[in-house]
Structure 1
Amino acid sequence: MVARTLYDKIIDSHRIQMPDSVDGAQEEILLYIDRTVLNEYTSPQAFSGLREAGRRVRRPQSALGVVDHVNSTDPARKKAAADEESRRQIEYFISNGKEFGIEIFDILDPRQGIEHVVLPELGWVLPGMVIAAGDSHTTTYGAFGSVGFGIGTSDIEHLLATQTLKYRRLKNMRVRFEGSIAPGLTSKDMIMALIRQIGADGAIGYALEMTGPAISCLEVEARMTMCNMAVECGARVALMEPDGKVFAHIAGRQRAPCGEALEAARSAWAELASDADACFDAAIVVETSRIEPMVSWGISPDQASVISGTVPDPAVLPEHERGGARAAIEYMGLTPGMPLSEIRIDRAFIGSCTNARLSDLREAASILRGRRVAPHVRAMVSPGSSTVRREAEAEGLDRVFLDAGFEWRESGCSMCLAMNDDVLAPGERCASSTNRNFRGRQGAGGRTHLMSPAMVAAAAVAGHLANVRDFLPREV
């Protein structure tokens, strides 16, 4: 039998139409999709298309809808959305769910939250699944050994109607993270280091499998951060081999298998791994021990550096990077050679599908405990789901944030993409735990610096970008 990668094994198990000819990564197949998650922003046209064609949803029980993109995160939930247009989007989404038999978590549902936080906490993401959704960060589910990828609105319509998608097989890339994880280093730093190393287009056309001793050391939520941001180096799919940590994370959750069904599932999940002699089309090694806490300086996630670094001089960069670097530095209002740790911030934001889980809030709170946000900084945290918010409050984390001077918001995509009332003003600079630092991503004219939640907390206290290691307890 030909040795196969984890990605190929999962794709093969979901292929329901054999092609006339097989041409490796160019193979186009019909793929069965196990589950999807919908939101109020990317689904409306799909439902309209179904209605106009007189079609029903093939398996409504395999879809779940959450309100997350346009809703306000006002702490009292006084506003369902930021404006009238957003309210109409939410109402239309809910009415579509009722018409087509799809369960929707609306703004007041105690399970509401960001889609890529909600599905795993329900136990709805399982190893070996294929999950497609109208959001590129569906790659998050690779942390469970699932193939997750984003699709467009027309594909959403096709998926809902048929439970299948026309799919072109990807090539395989393996990234091995070697070495130990030093204090102050997080999975956000690890994935940002990879993106910087291979570039924003370095994994285009690939399913990216991350492995190595540093990955095994990470808890599941930290792995989710890495798979979430793998799309920022071009990967359409990110994967990690599911292990005992994954199985334990799933067990006991509301919609996960239980009893004999769980034991049978665990036996099958244990077989989900790339064969020892599987062939990868590309292989990369990242030396984790050499990574320092990371921050972005530009307008693409690969325009990043260690916090001890400086804003680069475009003149000394490779020729193909110079134009982009000049444009980024101009937009960001920076000067070549400027120490990154001297960049003053106006805002600090902890949230998004990348870094708003309970473990993320714990890490940030450990830096904030007993400290105060700098007087000129407005800081806010939006938990990844209503469940995360309740769990954090049960631990007293909300008091840590509030006492430090952070706003304690409700859950939603919030300032990650400025489709609500959480936005940067033109020219404002934000230390952010989000996944993208594109022009205007957090608000027209806003300037975003990506980093881990702990690094955001450190920057909020310092009033400028700062090394979280300066805030850790001193070794005796």
Structure 2
Amino acid sequence: MTRTMYEKIISRNLIVGTDETPDRLYVDLHLVHDLSPQAFSALRSKGRTVRRPDLTLATADHGVSTQRRGLLGPTVSTEEQPQIRALRENCEEFGVPLFGLGSKSQGIVHVISPELGLTLPGMVVACGDSHTPSHGALGALGLGIGTSDIEHVLATQCVVLPNLKTMRVRLIGRLAEGISAKDLALGLVAYFRASDARGHVIEFQGEALKQLSVEGRLTLCNLSAEMGARAALIAPDDVTIDYVVGRRFAPKGLALEQALDYWLTLASDTDASFDTEVEFDVSSLSPTVTWGTTPAMSVSVNGVVPRPDETTAPADTIRALKYMGLEGGEAMSDLEVDVVFIGSCANGRLEDLRAAAAVLKGRRIASRVRGLVVPGSQLVKLAAEQEGLDEIFIESGFEWREPGCSMCLGMNDDVLNSGERCAATSNRNFEGRQGPGGRTHLVSPAVAAATAIVGHFTDPKMLP
């Protein structure tokens, strides 16, 4: 019997399930952050404990302040103090390991788990965050779950998963020079229109994947959530193994040898059957920027904002243009920005910071632009500082911040003022996500850096 990668993973973790009933899967790793207090409260009210605290890990990320943190802790707003305190108290009470403020391993949940070697091929990873599909970059089934599901996983170490369909996305051709994983991901989101992959687990295949590091694959799988997918997978290969081996929590010795034998069996069988087959030519992609209020509303950075009658959903376009302060027909390169944000679980890794710093080195950002660089984790921050990237950012005029989700979703003190336009390397540009009235355009780290320098959206190759 031939099987897809998804079918191989769930068969290993399946507890019960039929064609007519949802699957119940054993969870290999449960990730928790500071937006999960209700789940712990529900456990407490029912007198339950955390079944496998050794398979549970918590970190503070969404609500933390990214301002410089002193000996007494960070400068935090009154809104976020209860969240961080509740996470710490819940973890202490229920025996859950916590990488909180002050920890050398603290950071965005989808950044720290791969970099610490906690996320491994073949795992089922659950987290109360919609961008958990990120972990598919390492061949793990990453499932974003809701509050009631978080409680269920904490109490039982199991997750209820509806019957999902499978989709193979073949990436045809090669990425042109200077085209990043973010440009690829935004191109795919536009192709899928944030709904066509709904109810599916995507498996990415194709030669183009060989051009992507694990960091790039994490970006691609991260934005699969914006394609409507429930999860995304990339089969482990030499790139995956080179990334995982030697990391803090990765298997070692005999355990590693046994793991490697298993990991290399995970790829879908050559004649496996998928519910949906898609081919996507990557060769014509260009540096991309969103113009509207969903990640699917994007054009080339050298392109033009569409008019309502040029789109398949004129009413949605009219609403998006109104919110973004646009009419349609504007050249993207004419749009000035007020803020540039580099960070998030989509683009806050060391490779992303290197890409931005390479553009910024020896240059200054426009005087009207406020720039923020927020590393995805303390380990990313330390590595960047050891390479001198922080000095490049600071000398160019950017603010060098502490790790956290930051301006990606504005649940902290990093927010836009109403009407401010921002070039952001995050993954969502919904109305008000970075602050009420804030206007967010999604870009790659290199485009973000080039845009900061000239003050308007710019292809890095066009810089003098």
- Taking structure 1 as the reference length, the TM-score comes to 0.96
> Which residue pairs with 1:86 in the alignment?
80
The residue type paired with residue 417 of structure 1 is L
Match of 1:387 among 379, 382, 393: 379
Q: Conserved in 1, the CA contact under 8 Å of 2:10 and 2:25?
A: yes
> Which residue pairs with 2:303 in the alignment?
309
SS in 1 for 2:58: strand
The residue type paired with residue 49 of structure 1 is A
- Looking at structure 2, the residues matched to 401 and 75 of structure 1 have their Cα atoms a distance apart, in angstroms, of 16
- Looking at structure 1, the residues matched to 317 and 289 of structure 2 have their Cα atoms a distance apart, in angstroms, of 15
SS in 1 for 2:80: helix
Q: Conserved in 2, the CA contact under 8 Å of 1:61 and 1:102?
A: yes
Deviation at residue 80 of structure 1 after TM alignment: 3.3
How is 1:226-245 mapped onto 2 (pairs within 5 angstroms)?
Answer: 226-245=220-239
**Residue 348 of structure 1 pairs with residue 318 of structure 2:** no
- Looking at structure 2, the residues matched to 35 and 373 of structure 1 have their Cα atoms a distance apart, in angstroms, of 41
Unaligned runs of at least 5 residues, structure 1: none
- Looking at structure 1, the residues matched to 161 and 230 of structure 2 have their Cα atoms a distance apart, in angstroms, of 12
Deviation at residue 316 of structure 1 after TM alignment: 2.5
SS in 2 for 1:353: helix
**CA deviation vs aligned residue, 1:230-279 (integer Å, no higher than 9, x gap):** 00010010110111111111111111101111111001101111111111
User: Which range moved further: 276-285 or 183-192?
Assistant: 276-285
SS in 1 for 2:440: strand
Deviation at residue 81 of structure 1 after TM alignment: 5.7
After TM superposition, what 4+ stretches of structure 1 lie above 4 angstroms from structure 2?
none
**CA deviation vs aligned residue, 1:281-304 (integer Å, no higher than 9, x gap):** 111111111100100000000001
Q: Conserved in 2, the CA contact under 8 Å of 1:70 and 1:86?
A: yes
- Looking at structure 2, the residues matched to 404 and 80 of structure 1 have their Cα atoms a distance apart, in angstroms, of 25
- Looking at structure 2, the residues matched to 316 and 297 of structure 1 have their Cα atoms a distance apart, in angstroms, of 14
Aligned-CA RMSD value: 1.1
Match of 1:70 among 63, 74, 79: 63
Number of equivalences: 463
- Looking at structure 1, the residues matched to 341 and 311 of structure 2 have their Cα atoms a distance apart, in angstroms, of 31
Match of 2:205 among 174, 196, 211: 211
- Looking at structure 2, the residues matched to 34 and 69 of structure 1 have their Cα atoms a distance apart, in angstroms, of 23
SS in 1 for 2:392: helix
Match of 2:94 among 76, 92, 100: 100
> Which residue pairs with 1:44 in the alignment?
37
> Which residue pairs with 1:246 in the alignment?
240
**CA deviation vs aligned residue, 1:202-238 (integer Å, no higher than 9, x gap):** 1101001111000122110000000001000100101
**Residue 462 of structure 1 pairs with residue 454 of structure 2:** yes
Q: Conserved in 1, the CA contact under 8 Å of 2:365 and 2:396?
A: yes
Deviation at residue 75 of structure 1 after TM alignment: 2.2
Q: Conserved in 2, the CA contact under 8 Å of 1:72 and 1:79?
A: no
SS in 1 for 2:44: helix
Deviation at residue 462 of structure 1 after TM alignment: 1.1
Q: Conserved in 1, the CA contact under 8 Å of 2:181 and 2:219?
A: yes
Unaligned runs of at least 5 residues, structure 2: none
> Which residue pairs with 2:138 in the alignment?
144
Match of 1:269 among 249, 263, 283: 263
SS in 2 for 1:289: coil
Q: Conserved in 1, the CA contact under 8 Å of 2:337 and 2:422?
A: yes
Match of 1:221 among 209, 215, 219: 215
- Looking at structure 1, the residues matched to 463 and 264 of structure 2 have their Cα atoms a distance apart, in angstroms, of 40
**Residue 172 of structure 1 pairs with residue 166 of structure 2:** yes
Deviation at residue 84 of structure 1 after TM alignment: 2.1
The residue type paired with residue 363 of structure 1 is A
- Looking at structure 2, the residues matched to 117 and 327 of structure 1 have their Cα atoms a distance apart, in angstroms, of 34
Deviation at residue 79 of structure 1 after TM alignment: 5.7
SS in 2 for 1:85: coil
> Which residue pairs with 1:58 in the alignment?
51
**Residue 401 of structure 1 pairs with residue 400 of structure 2:** no
> Which residue pairs with 1:325 in the alignment?
317
> Which residue pairs with 1:15 in the alignment?
14
SS in 1 for 2:328: coil
**Residue 185 of structure 1 pairs with residue 184 of structure 2:** no
SS in 1 for 2:160: strand
> Which residue pairs with 1:259 in the alignment?
253
Q: Conserved in 1, the CA contact under 8 Å of 2:67 and 2:75?
A: no
Deviation at residue 60 of structure 1 after TM alignment: 0.4
The residue type paired with residue 70 of structure 1 is G
Deviation at residue 355 of structure 1 after TM alignment: 0.2
> Which residue pairs with 1:438 in the alignment?
430
The residue type paired with residue 252 of structure 2 is C
Deviation at residue 410 of structure 1 after TM alignment: 0.4
> Which residue pairs with 2:355 in the alignment?
363
- Looking at structure 2, the residues matched to 99 and 325 of structure 1 have their Cα atoms a distance apart, in angstroms, of 49
Q: Conserved in 2, the CA contact under 8 Å of 1:81 and 1:420?
A: no
SS in 1 for 2:323: helix
Q: Conserved in 2, the CA contact under 8 Å of 1:80 and 1:87?
A: no
- Looking at structure 2, the residues matched to 224 and 314 of structure 1 have their Cα atoms a distance apart, in angstroms, of 33
Deviation at residue 148 of structure 1 after TM alignment: 0.3
Deviation at residue 311 of structure 1 after TM alignment: 0.6
- Looking at structure 2, the residues matched to 80 and 57 of structure 1 have their Cα atoms a distance apart, in angstroms, of 29
SS in 2 for 1:272: coil
- Looking at structure 1, the residues matched to 112 and 240 of structure 2 have their Cα atoms a distance apart, in angstroms, of 16
